[in-house]
Amino acid sequence: MENVLTLIKKDHDAATALFAELRRLIDADTFSEPDVRECFQNLKRALLSHQTAEEEAVYSRLRTHGEMKDYAFEGETEHDLAAGLLEKMTYDSPIDERWRAQLAVLKHAVDHHVEEEELDLFPMMKKAFSPDELVEMGKDLQALKLVVQETGTAPLSALRTDAGVRGARPGAEDDIRAG
């Protein structure tokens, strides 16, 4: 069973591939607005379901952990900014040059966010949570993502009772400070 870090990395890589595909469609000689819009919708769905599930399955468990708590709040704020831009881009036209500027800003923001999660947050989580806990969080992430994809809404309480909010191993925060 894959742990949550592997699953998050897969989502990040999928988003990167969708950004590249969107770029290719925009730069194509045979520019097709429907194709660009379809690809954008795929990217939007991927990013929103990922970040909503991530907040519920991961960030909610970081709020009681000193240094990681700051990452959770910062990460959620970055998620909100991306969601706002995605929403705006849904109603603007990809033909407009401003739309392309918005896409560039979105990609820059997502790249930065992904880098912080993978390079800074992942090592802290590896120390704070046991391998079993990371697998459990992975199960929650996948289940939550499905709910968001199917309903289009954030399932804030849907899995809360099943998932609970598991804490990290006792002393994990000391490990992090020492490490």
Interacting residues toward Fe ion by CB under 5 A: 54, 117
Q: Which lies closer to Fe ion via its Cβ, residue 39 or residue 48?
A: 48
Least Å distance between CB 98 and Fe ion? Answer: 26
Least Å distance between CB 77 and Fe ion? Answer: 11
Q: Which lies closer to Fe ion via its Cβ, residue 54 or residue 136?
A: 54
Q: Which lies closer to Fe ion via its Cβ, residue 12 or residue 94?
A: 12
- d(C-alpha 115, C-alpha 129), whole Å: 20
Q: Which lies closer to Fe ion via its Cβ, residue 56 or residue 117?
A: 117
Least Å distance between CB 79 and Fe ion? Answer: 6
Q: Say if CB 72 and CB 62 are below 8 A apart.
A: yes
Residues 6+ apart with CB under 8 A from 90: 40, 44
Q: DSSP 3-state assignment of 159?
A: coil
Residues 6+ apart with CB under 8 A from 147: 155, 158, 159
Least Å distance between CB 120 and Fe ion? Answer: 12
Cα 109 to Cα 26, 62, 106, 124, distances in angstroms: 19, 22, 5, 22
